[in-house]
């Protein structure tokens, strides 16, 4: 076959191959200018990762062949001999920096998936994916679990045996889940029988707000109720992102199907689904389709109905529907925008909302990545890389001396809090506090 024939065949089949192939084929647009490499936080700090261009568009020529082969599963690709792609943290800055619209991060995510396909995941990666399971056990045994996770001997053993770094920022389990708290307060309805889709919000709390930070979920519910919404908290499981990040795609698809089965009904009825975790909401918006190949009507409906909490509140404000009676919060508030938020492509809505709060002086720290990238920075072989990626951010926070920092994503909050000893809070917590300040 001549090159011209291969190209002709590729471009012919590209249209019919759907999202996965269009991601893979976008390598054809690569100019090899290396702008992506300048934007890569990991390549900035380690030689172990040669940068997004080398493992992405450049290595893609080794992979494309079978992705185009008829009848091939989307992930059954020939491998590039280079395995350094495992060091990609998946932050996505390469794709945003690319002037030629090459889907570098998406391409690399799929290549990492293919690298793991057919191999049994190591126990550590399996464990990091089971946020529902560890969350449930952790909450039930919170005093013991929290003591163990702060016990140096235990952590040293886990480091040696499991491969989770002894210094990694593991969050504290809450004594009660958000769901059980809500049941006690009878604050939420459990079935979609609320008055109207327009005045009702479906809250997707994810694992973080349920098992670790119920106060974040509570703040979001308070803020939504303050604005006259009824908040529904339907049954849900982990969005699946920790499974995707750790190569457990079959399990992730199971989680996705469970969530879609519940959420699609609400989406179809016109309800908005709101989350406080930018990672969960991005998974609902994009990853079910891009990474798990669940591109059916349910997945599209749910994606279209899903909002990040700050995105929704800003949208309400644009429509003149946000209660702007905020009390004064007199503080300078450094803000870190998580990588996952940037992948939403919605700007920095938290900063716009902070402008509505009297006295609150929010400052965008404009640093790319804190390093943690979900579960990446927890792993023994990657902990130092993650800390080096976040180092300029940590230095800046330490030098600034502010005692509270705002950040939309839980794993980033835990990483930054552990590295700097400051208090990290979700933007919606400050809004809830400003509403309270108005009342008092």
Partner 1 sequence: MARADVAVVGAGLAGLAAAIRLAESGARVQVLATGHTATHWAPGGIDVAALPGAGTSQAAVEQLARVPGHPYAFLAPELRGALDWLRKTLDAEGLSLVGDLDAPLRAIPTSIGATRLAAILPEGMAPALAPWARDEVLVVCGVAGFRDFWPEAIAAGLRRPGTWRGQPAPARIEAVSVELPGLEGRHNLSGLDLARLFDDPAWRAPALAAIRRAIEGGRPGPGSGAGRVALPAVLGLHDHPAILAEARERLPLEPFEVALVPPSIPGLRLFAALRAALRRHGGRLQVGEAVHGTIGLDGRVAELRAPAAARKFVLSAGAVVLATGGIAGGGLLADGPGSLTEAVLGLPVDGPATGSWLLNDPFDPAGHPLEWAGIRTDSRLRPVAPGASGRLLAENVRIVGSLLAGQRYLRERCGDGVALASSSLAARELCR
Contact between 352 and partner 1 per CB under 8 A: yes
Q: Cα–chain-centroid distance for residue 361?
A: 26
Exactly one of 14, 19, 44, 62 binds partner 1 (CB under 8 A); that residue is 44
Exactly one of 73, 228, 270, 304 binds partner 1 (CB under 8 A); that residue is 304
Q: Rounded distance, CA 175 to CA 152, Å?
A: 22
Tokens 């769901």 appear where?
A: 179
Q: What are phi and psi of 430, to 5 degrees?
A: -70, -35
Q: Cα–chain-centroid distance for residue 193?
A: 30
Q: Which of residues 77-116 bind partner 1 (CB under 8 A)?
A: 95-101
Taking alpha carbons only, the member of 304, 290, 328, 312 closest to residue 408 is 312
By CB under 8 A, how many residues form the interface with partner 1?
38
Least distance CB 265 / partner 1 (angstroms): 18
Least distance CB 342 / partner 1 (angstroms): 7
Taking contact as CB under 8 A, which single stretch among the options 36-44, 178-186, 197-205, 248-256 is the one that binds partner 1? 36-44
Least distance CB 288 / partner 1 (angstroms): 11
Q: Rounded distance, CA 233 to CA 185, Å?
A: 13
Exactly one of 38, 76, 180, 199 binds partner 1 (CB under 8 A); that residue is 38
Cα dihedral: 340, 342, 344, 349 (round 10): 110
The SS3 call for residue 98 is coil
Contact between 347 and partner 1 per CB under 8 A: yes
Taking alpha carbons only, the member of 157, 431, 189, 437 closest to residue 312 is 431
Least distance CB 47 / partner 1 (angstroms): 8
Exactly one of 34, 58, 146, 380 binds partner 1 (CB under 8 A); that residue is 34
Residues whose CB falls within 8 Å of the CB of residue 314, separated by 6 or more in sequence, listed in order:
322, 349, 352, 353
Q: What are phi and psi of 407, to 5 degrees?
A: -160, 140
Least distance CB 420 / partner 1 (angstroms): 20
Contact between 395 and partner 1 per CB under 8 A: no
Q: Which of residues 7-26 bind partner 1 (CB under 8 A)?
A: none
Q: Rounded distance, CA 298 to CA 343, Å?
A: 22
Exactly one of 168, 223, 348, 397 binds partner 1 (CB under 8 A); that residue is 348
Taking contact as CB under 8 A, which single stretch among the options 16-24, 196-204, 311-319, 403-411 is the one that binds partner 1? 311-319
Strand ranges, E, within 337-380: 360-364
Least distance CB 153 / partner 1 (angstroms): 34
Least distance CB 340 / partner 1 (angstroms): 10
Contact between 318 and partner 1 per CB under 8 A: yes
Q: Which of residues 280-299 bind partner 1 (CB under 8 A)?
A: 282, 285-286
Contact between 6 and partner 1 per CB under 8 A: no
Taking alpha carbons only, the member of 290, 317, 341, 301 closest to residue 431 is 317
DSSP assigned state of 189: B
Residues in contact with partner 1 by CB under 8 A are 33-35, 37-39, 43-44, 50-51, 95-101, 282, 285-286, 303-304, 306, 314-315, 318, 342-349, 351-352, 364, 366
């Amino acid at each position: 076959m001549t090159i011209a024939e291969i190209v002709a065949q590729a471009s012919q089949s590209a249209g019919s191959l759907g999202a996965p192939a269009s991601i893979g084929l976008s390598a054809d647009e690569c100019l090899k200018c290396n702008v992506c490499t300048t934007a890569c936080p990991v390549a900035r700090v380690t030689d172990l990762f040669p940068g997004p261009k080398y493992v992405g568009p450049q290595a893609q020529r080794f992979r494309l062949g079978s992705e185009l082969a008829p009848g091939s599963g989307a992930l059954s690709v020939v491998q590039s001999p280079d395995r350094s792609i495992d060091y990609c943290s998946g932050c996505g800055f390469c794709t945003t920096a690319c002037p030629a619209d090459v889907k570098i991060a998406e391409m690399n995510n799929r290549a990492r998936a293919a690298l793991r396909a057919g191999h049994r995941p190591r126990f550590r990666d399996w464990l990091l994916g089971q946020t529902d399971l560890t969350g449930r056990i952790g909450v039930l045994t919170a005093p013991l679990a929290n003591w163990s996770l702060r016990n140096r001997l235990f952590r040293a053993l886990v480091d040696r045996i499991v491969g989770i770094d002894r210094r990694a920022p593991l969050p504290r389990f809450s004594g009660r889940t958000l769901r059980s708290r809500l049941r006690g307060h009878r604050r939420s309805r459990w079935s979609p029988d609320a008055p109207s889709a327009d005045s009702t919000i479906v809250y997707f709390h994810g694992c973080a707000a349920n098992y670790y930070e119920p106060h974040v979920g509570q703040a979001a519910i308070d803020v939504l109720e303050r604005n006259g919404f009824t908040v529904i908290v339907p049954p849900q499981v982990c969005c699946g992102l920790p499974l995707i990040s750790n190569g457990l795609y079959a399990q992730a698809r199971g989680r996705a199907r469970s969530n879609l089965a519940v959420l699609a009904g609400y989406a179809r009825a016109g309800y908005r689904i709101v989350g406080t975790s930018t990672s969960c909401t991005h998974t609902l918006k994009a990853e079910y389709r891009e990474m798990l190949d669940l591109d059916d009507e349910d997945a599209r409906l749910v994606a279209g109905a899903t909002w990040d909490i700050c995105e929704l509140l800003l949208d309400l404000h644009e429509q003149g529907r946000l209660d702007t009676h905020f009390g004064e919060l007199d503080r300078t508030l450094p803000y870190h925008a998580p990588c996952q938020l940037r992948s939403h492509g919605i700007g920095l809505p938290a900063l716009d909302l902070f402008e509505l709060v009297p006295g609150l002086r929010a400052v965008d720290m404009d640093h790319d990545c804190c390093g943690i990238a979900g579960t990446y920075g927890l792993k023994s072989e990657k902990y130092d890389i993650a800390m080096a990626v976040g180092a300029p951010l940590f230095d800046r926070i330490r030098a600034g001396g502010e005692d509270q920092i705002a950040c939309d994503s839980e794993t980033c909050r835990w990483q930054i809090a552990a590295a700097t000893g400051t208090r990290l809070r979700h933007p919606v917590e400050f809004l809830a506090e400003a509403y309270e300040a108005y009342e008092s």
